[in-house]
Structure 1
Amino acid sequence: LSVLLLGGAPSGSAAAAIAKDRAANGAALAKSGALDVLLALACGAAGASRSSLRVACLRTAAELVAAAGAVGQERMGSSVVHMGEHAAPALNACLNLALFAAGAAERAAAAALISAYCASNTDGQLLLASTISPMGARPAGAEAEVPGPLTPSELAKVTFGSMLVRALSADAGAGDDGARVAARAALILAIVLADSHDCQCRALVAPLEMATSSAAPAETLIARVLRLLDSVGAHGAAPGISGTTEGPQMLRLALLRLLFAWTDGCPSAVRAVMQPPATLPLLLALCECDPQQAEGVAGMAAALLASCLVHCAPSDEGVVARPVLEAVTARVGLSRLSSQIDDLRRSPQFARAVAPRKAMPPITRENADKAVSSEGGWSGDSVAETDDKLTTVCDASLVARVGSLADGLGQRVVALYSHSAATPAQGEGAAPSAAEAVHAAAASGGDALRAAAEAQAHELDRLRAQNAQLADQLLGGGNATGASGMTLTAEMDGLRESLHLAERVASEARDEATGLKCELEEARDGVSRAQADLQALSSAYNTLEAERDSEVGELRARISKLEAGQSEADPQARGASAAELAAAREEGATEARAEAEAAAAESEAEMNDLLACLGIEEEKVEQLSERLVELGEDPESLLEGIGGDEDPEDEDE
C-alpha cells in the first residue's frame, strides 16, 4: 500500500503524473475499505499485537488519507473502530494513541494520521474545535491527576475536544508524566488550529468550565494555555532560575508551538495572547534563555513575538504591535530576535522535518524481520523517548510558516516605525491629535501654544531616538550588529576554506581513482595472459599424454609381435630368448613409465606455477575492485569488453 500511495519521488516532468496516480490510488483504496482495515489493525480490539505493525498501519493510513484528499478525509471522519462491544470514532481512537501510547513511534504515527485529516480540511478542523466543551471543575484542594488511556466504553461516549481539554488539565502540577501528556495534547491542538481562521476564532471563545456567576466568567481555552505557559515558564527558562525536568521543558516548547499556530493569520488570537500583562515579559525572558539548557525555546519565543508583530490587526497597532516592538527593541534587540529565528530555521530538526521520506526497502524476509523487530516498522526511523524535544514540535508546516514570517518581519517593523506614534485613537475618550492640540493651544493664548510646541518637540526627539535605535539595529550601526557581521564574515571565510578543502580532497580522490583504474587494467591484462598460458599448457599436457599413450601402444604391439615370433622358435632357443624377451620387455616398460612420469611431473609443476600466478592476479583484481567501489566507480563497467574476444571453445575447455 505504501508503494502504491507514495510511488516515486515527484520531480521533473513526471511530478504531475505521479501526483495524479497517487490521488487516484488513494481515492480507490479509500473507497474499497482499505482505510477501515488499517484502522482496525492499528486501533481495534482484534488488531495487531506488535507495536511495529500498528505503527506501519497508522503511517500507511496517514499516507492514504493524504493521497485521497477530500475523499480520504471524509472517510476518516466517518470511520469507526470496533472495540469489542463498543464502536468508537476513529479520530477518538487515534487521539487516544497519540496521547497515551507507550511507544513514541506509535504516538507520532497517530498524530501524523490526525494531521493528514486536518490538512486543508477547514470543515473538519472546525468540527473538531466545536467539540471542545466545558468540564467539571476540580474540587478545591484536590491533587492534580495524570490522565490515562480511555477504555472502549469511554471512547465511544466522549468527544475529541473533551479528550484534549482533559489532557491539557494535566499541567506541571501533575508531575513529569502529566506535563508530557499536556504537551502532546498541545501539539495535537496546534494541528487542529493550523491554517484555519474560523477554527482559531472558534477555539478562542471555547469555555473549559461552567461559569459560576456573571462576575466570574468561565476560563477559556486560550486563558488555560497562557496559564500553563506561565506556570512552566518559571521552571528553568528565565535567567537565574535553574532546575527542571523533561516534562515541563517539553510542555513549554509545545505551548509555544501551539500559540504560534494560533496567532498565525489570526489577529484576534494575537490580541488575546497579548492581553494578559504577564505574557510579554514572560516571552522576553524566554528569548533570553540559554539554548544549551532549553533547546529551541528562545527560537520559538522569538517566532511567537514576530508572529504577534506581523499578524496584529491595524486597529490594535497602538495597544499591541508598538508596545511589543518597543519592548523587544529595548530588551532583546531586533537583530538578536532575527538571529534567533534564523538559528531555529538552521537547526537540524528543521532540516529533518522537510526531508523527503526514505524509500521503502525491498520486501524480503530479512527486511520483514527487521521491520517487525523495530519500533519504527518498515521505515526504520523510530522515535525514541530520549530524542531532543525540538524534534517533537517540528513539522513541515512550522518550517514553512517560520520561513515566511522571517521574510516579512523586516517589512512589518519598518511599516510600524514609519507610522506616526501619535496616530489618533478611535472612539470616545480618545486623545486629540497633534494638529488639534496646536489649534486649541493657539486659541487659548501664547503660554499654551508654547507648551504645546515644547511637547511636540519632545515627541519629535523621542521619535528620532527611536528611529536612530532602529537604524542602528537594522543597518549595522551597533556593536551587537557589528559583532554579528564580523561573525557572519568569519563564518563565510570558514565555509569558503571548507569548500576549497573539499574540492582538493575530491580532486585527489579522482586522481587516485584514475590510478586504480590503470592498475586494474594492468592486472586484468596479466590475468588474461596467465589464462592464455594456462590454456596453452593444458593443450601441451593433453598432447604429451596422447604421445605417451601412442608410445605405450607401440611398445605393447612390439611385445606382442615378439611373443608371436618366439612361439615359432626352437624350444631351447625359445627358452633362451624368453629370458631376454622378458628382460627387454621389463626394460622397455620401465623406460616408458619413467618418461611418462617425468613428462607428467614437469607438466604438473608448470601447471601449479601458473595457477599460483593466476590466484595472485585474481586477488589483486578483487582488491582493486573493492577500492573502486569505495570511490564510487563501477568495476564491471570498466571491465566490459576485456577478454571478450576469447574463443568460446577455449572457454568451454
Structure 2
Amino acid sequence: MTNQTLLIQNNALDHLFYLAIEGRLTAADVRCAALKCIGNLVRGHTRNLEMLSKKMIGEELDREVSLNAVLHVLLNTTDLSEWMAADHVIKCFCEGNPEGQVVLASTLSPAEESQTNGNKPHKNNKHLPFGRILLHALDINKEQKDIVASCRAARVLTYVLQGNQVCKEKVLEIISEVTSSPLSNPEYMLSACVKYISSAASLQARREERDHTGRLCFVALMLRLLVTWFAECPKVVASFLETGGHLLCVVELLVNKEFSTSHHVSSLAAVVLGECIVYNPCADGPQCASMVVDTISQRIGLSSYFEMWEKLQKDAYFLSAAVKAGLLNISADASMDGEQSSPVVAAHNNEEHFEADIQSMIKATYDKEFVTEVQKLQPIVKEKTLLLFSHPKSEVIIPSLVNRNEGEGDDSYIERLQTLLQKQAQEMQEIMVKNVALAEELVNRSGDKDLQGERSGIVGESQGFAASRIEIEATKQRIQAYQQRIEKMEQQQHEKEQEALYYKQLSEKHEADLKALSAAYNSLEQANFRLEDEVQNLKKGAHGTAVSAGLSISDLDAAREEGRQEGAKASEAELNDLLVCLGQEESKVERLRARLEELGEDVEALLQDIDEEQEREHDVSE
C-alpha cells in the first residue's frame, strides 16, 4: 500500500500509460508489462482507483478517458498477452471498488442508430461512454465477424457486476437497444443477454468450424456472466423467470447434443439453473423453484443434471483454479496433468492464434469467485431439489381449514372443502408425474454399465420414490374421507332444500288465503260505505217525514239515536266477528313469516309483491 502511494505520487501512472498506450510502442512485451503494472498499482488502493477513473490520456484535441483507452486495447488487440494485461487492469479496477463498478454500470446505454450502421464505435470513436462501447461489442448480431471481441466484452461486464448487488439491480433496468417504433416494448439488458445466447446457439449461426468454436466460447462466457449476475440476487432471478423463453433457452443448451457435448457450456448452464432454484424468491406460481425442478426433471433428468455438476468439478481448469485459490488440496503435478488433458477446443494448424484466444478466455472463466460459488451452491441445490421433488407444496391440510367456521353457511363450507380437495388432488397428480419421471430415470440407469458405482445415488432416489408413494397413499386416504364428508353434506343440503320447497308451497297457499280474506274485507268495507250512504238518505227521509207528520225535533233526535245505537250494535257484532277472523289469520301469518325467515325467504319482498298485485287488480276492477 505504501509503495502504491509513493509510485502514484511520482507520476508513475502517467509513465505507465505512455508505455502502454500513448507511446504506441511496437514492443508488445513492454506494453503488456506496463498494463500489468497499472493494474497492480491501483488494486485495493482507494485513492489510486479514484485517480485512474478520472485520468485522461492523449493530446489536448484527442483526449479520452484512460479506462476507455484500456477497453479499446482489450477489445481490439490481436496479441493474447496484451489482451490478458488489459483484462487485468479492468479486473483490478472493479475488485473491491463498488463505487467504481456503479460508475461503469451507469455508462451502459444503447448506441444511437447512426453509430450502429456499419460502424464500430469501440474502434473509431474515442468519445463514447465506456458502457456504450461495451454494449456494442457484446452484441454478436452487430459484430458477427468479431466474436472474440464479444467474448472479451462479456468478461468485462462480468467484472462490473461481480459481488455488487447495486450494480446487478441497476443493470437489470438498463435498456440495451432503442426501438424505432414507440409501440414496441423496450429490450432490457437481461433479455438482450439471453437473446445473444440464443443467437449464438442457433443452427443458422453455426456455419463453419471456426465460427462454431467461437460461438461455443461466447455462450460459455455469457453463461458465466449470468452466474455472476444471479448470485445472491433474487430480484434478477425473478426477472429472468418472468419470461418463460429464458429458462427454456438455458435448458436447450443441455438438451441440444451439439452444445451438451461441450462440458463447459453444459456445466455453466447447470450452474445457472441451480441458481434459479436456490435464489428463487417465488413461493408459488409459474416462476417458483418447483417449476424449475420439474423442467429439469422432464427435459434433462435429475441424474444427468447432477452429473454435469460432477463433471464441472472434475474439469482441469476448475481444479487448477481451486488449487490456486486454496480451496482444494491436490498436487500441482496432478493439476497440470489434468489441465493438459482437458478437452477444451481442438487446435487447427492455420488458426493457432484464434484457438489460443478461445482457450485462454475459457480458462479465465474458472476463477476464484466462480469456484467458490459452485462449491457453495452444489450441496444447497441437491438439498433443495430433493425437498421440492419429493414433497408436495402443502404436506397436510390444517384441521382449522377443514372445520366449519362460525356463521359459515352450507354452500360456502362445501365450496371451501371442494377447493381444498381439488388442491390436494392436483398436488397428488404432480407427485405422480414426478414419480413417473423418476421411475423412468431409474429404469434407464438400471441398464448402465456403471450401475454399481452409482448405486448410492439410485438408492437415494429409490428412497425418495418410496417416500413419495407413502405420501400419495396418505393423500388418497384424506381425499376419500373428504369425498365421503362432502357427499353426506350434499345429502343433508338436499333434504333441507326439499323442506324449504314444502314450506314455500305452504307459504303460497297462505298467501292465496290472505288475498281472499283481503278481498272479503274490501267488499265488506264497500258494503259498510253503502249502508252509511243509505243511513244518511234515510236520515234525510226521516227528517222530512217527521216534519210533515208534525213530530218535534227532540222526538226525531231520540228516534235517530235509538236507530244509531241499534245499527252500532249490529255493526259492532259484525266487526267483532271480523276482527276475530283477522286475528286468527294474522296469527297464522306471523307463524308463517317466522318459518319463512328461518328458511331464508325474504318475507318483505313477498308482501311487496302481494301489494303490487292487489293494486293491479284494483286498477283492473276500476
Partner of 1:493: none
Would you say 1:106 and 2:66 are equivalent positions? no
Task: Identify the residue that residue 573 of structure 2 maps to in structure 1.
Answer: none
- Partner secondary structure for residue 208 of structure 1: strand
Distance change >3 Å, CA 237–CA 274, structure 1 → 2: farther
CA deviations 1:315-342 (Å, max 9, x no partner) are 5676232211110122212332222122
Q: From the superposition, tell whether residues 449 and 38 of structure 1 become closer, same or farther in structure 2 (CA, over 3 Å).
A: closer
Structure-1 residue corresponding to 2:514: none
2:128 to 151, 158, 183: 158
Alignment partner, residue 201 of structure 1: 169
Match of 1:62 among 34, 39, 43: 39
1:123 to 75, 90, 99: 99
| Residue in structure 1 matching 2:120, options 147, 164, 171 | 147
User: What is the TM-score when the length of structure 1 is the normalising length?
Assistant: 0.57
Instruction: Give the whole-Å Cα distance in 1 for the aligned partners of 2:355 and 2:39.
Output: 17
Q: 1:218 aligns with which of 170, 176, 186?
A: 186
RMSD of Structure 2 on Structure 1 (CA): 4.1
- 1:186-218 superposed Cα distances (whole Å, 9 cap, x missing partner): 221111011101001111111234465664232
Query: Is the Cα contact below 8 Å between 1:236 and 1:242 reproduced in 2?
Result: no
C-alpha separation between the residues in 1 aligned to 2:432 and 2:209? 37
Distance change in 2, residues 1:122/1:174 (3 Å): closer
1:363-392: CA deviation from partner (whole Å, max 9, x where unpaired): xxxxxxxxxxxxxxxxxx999336376225
Structure 2 Cα separation of the partners of residues 91 and 180 of structure 1: 20
SS at match of 1:385: helix
| Residue in structure 1 matching 2:366, options 390, 394, 398 | 394
Question: What is residue 296 of structure 1 aligned with on the other side?
Answer: 264
Deviation for aligned residue 1:33: 2.8
Cα displacement string for residues 391-435 of structure 1 (whole angstroms, at most 9, x for unaligned residues): 253322222222222232123324545875259xxxxxxxx9997
Matches within 5 A, 1:12-91: 23-44=1-22, 46-66=23-43, 68-83=44-59, 85-91=61-67
1:168–1:472 Cα change, 3 Å: same
SS across alignment from 1:150: helix
Quick one: which amino acid aligns to residue 200 of structure 1?
Answer: K
- Mean Cα deviation higher: 202-211 or 102-111: 202-211
CA distance in 2, matches of 1:296, 1:418: 30
Is the 8 Å Cα contact of residues 132 and 206 (structure 1) preserved in structure 2? yes
Give, in whole Å, the separation in 1 of the partners of 2:189 and 2:267.
24
Spell out the pairing of 1:398-417 with structure 2 (5 A cutoff): 398-416=370-388
SS at structure 1 position matched to 2:57: strand
> What 5-or-longer segments of structure 1 have no aligned partner?
1-22, 358-380, 424-431, 491-653
Superimposed CA distance per residue, residues 535-569 of structure 1 (whole angstroms, 9 cap, x where no aligned partner): xxxxxxxxxxxxxxxxxxxxxxxxxxxxxxxxxxx
Cα distance in 1 for partners of 2:403, 2:286 equals 22
Cα 1:462–1:263 change in 2 (3 A) is same
Q: Tell me which amino acid in the other structure corresponds to 1:279.
A: H
Rounded to whole Å, the distance in 2 between the matches of 1:236 and 1:334 is: 30
- Per the TM alignment, residue 469 of structure 1 is displaced from its structure 2 partner at its CA by 7.0
Contact 1:302 1:340 in 2 (8 A): yes
Give 1:307-318 correspondences, 5 Å limit.
Answer: 307-314=275-282
Partner secondary structure for residue 408 of structure 1? helix
- 1:96 aligns to what? 72
Counterparts in 2 of 1:464 and 1:225: CA distance versus 1, 3 Å: closer
Q: Residues 383 and 56 from structure 1, CA distance in 2 versus in 1: closer, same or farther, beyond 3 angstroms?
A: farther
Q: 1:443 aligns to what?
A: 410
Q: CA distance change for structure 1 residues 486 and 97 in 2, over 3 Å: closer, same or farther?
A: farther
TM-score if structure 2 supplies the norm length? 0.59
Kindly tell me: are residues 326 and 488 of structure 1, through their superposed partners in 2, closer, same or farther at Cα, counting changes over 3 Å? Answer: closer
* 1:196-255 alpha-carbon deviations (Å, 9 max, x no partner): 0100111111123446566423222222212111212223899xx999523322222222
The answer to whether 1:351 aligns with 2:308 is no
**Which SS does the other structure have where 2:176 is aligned?**
coil
Asked if the contact 1:129–1:161 (Cα under 8 Å) also holds between the matched residues in 2, the reply is yes
Contact 1:81–1:89 (8 Å) recurs in 2 = yes
What does residue 185 of structure 1 align with?
A: 153
Residues 318 and 209 from structure 1, CA distance in 2 versus in 1: closer, same or farther, beyond 3 angstroms?
A: closer
From 276, 280, 283, the equivalent of 2:250 is 283
Partner in structure 2 of residue 596 of structure 1? none
Tell me the CA shift for residue 114 of structure 1: 0.4
1:61 maps to amino acid: I
Aligned in 2, Cα 1:382/1:297: closer, same or farther, shift over 3 Å? closer
Structure 1 segment 162-177 matched on structure 2, within 5 A = 162-169=132-139, 171-172=140-141, 174-175=143-144, 177=145
Q: Where in structure 2 are the equivalents of 1:142-541 lying within 5 Å?
A: 145=118, 147=120, 149-151=122-124, 154-155=125-126, 157-169=127-139, 171-172=140-141, 174-175=143-144, 177-210=145-178, 215-235=183-203, 245-290=212-257, 294-314=262-282, 319-354=287-322, 356=324, 384-385=356-357, 387=359, 390-416=362-388, 420-421=392-393, 443-444=410-411, 455-462=422-429, 464-465=431-432, 480=445, 486-487=452-453
C-alpha separation between the residues in 2 aligned to 1:32 and 1:288? 57
Q: Distance in 2 between matches of 1:292 and 1:319?
A: 25
**TM-superposition CA deviations, 1:605-642 (whole Å, max 9, x none):** xxxxxxxxxxxxxxxxxxxxxxxxxxxxxxxxxxxxxx
Find the aligned partners of 2:217 and 2:101 in 1 and give their Cα distance: 25
1:447 is displaced (CA, Å) by: 7.9
Instruction: Measure how far apart 1:64 and its partner are.
Output: 2.5
CA gap 1:29/1:477 in 2 versus in 1, 3 angstroms: farther
Alignment-mate amino acid for residue 243 of structure 2: P
Question: Residue 76 of structure 1 contacts residue 90 of structure 1 at CA under 8 Å; is this kept in 2?
Answer: yes
Higher helix share: 2
Question: Does the C-alpha gap of structure 1 residues 80 and 315 become closer, same or farther in structure 2, counting only changes over 3 Å?
Answer: farther
TM-superposed CA distance for 1:70, in Å, is 2.2
Q: Are residues 293 and 471 of structure 1, via their aligned partners in 2, closer, same or farther at CA, if it must alter by over 3 Å?
A: closer
CA contact (8 A) 2:32 2:81 kept: yes
Contact 1:131–1:161, Cα closer than 8 Å, also in 2: yes
- Take 2:184 and 2:102, find their aligned partners in 1: how far apart are those partners? 28
Letter of the 1:339 counterpart: E
Distance 1:84 1:263 in 2: 42
- Give the 3-state SS of the residue equivalent to 1:48 in structure 2: coil
Q: Which moved more, 1:409-418 or 1:72-81?
A: 409-418
Label 1:59 to 1:389 Cα distance change in 2 as closer, same or farther (>3 A): closer
- Opposite residue 428 of structure 2, the aligned amino acid is D
Q: What amino acid does structure 1 have at the position aligned with 2:369?
A: S
- Classify 1:70/1:459 alpha carbon distance in 2 versus 1 (closer, same or farther; 3 Å): same
* Separation in 1, partners of 2:107, 2:363: 29
- Are the aligned partners of 1:236 and 1:243 in contact in 2 as well (CA < 8 Å)? no
Letter in 1 for 2:362: L
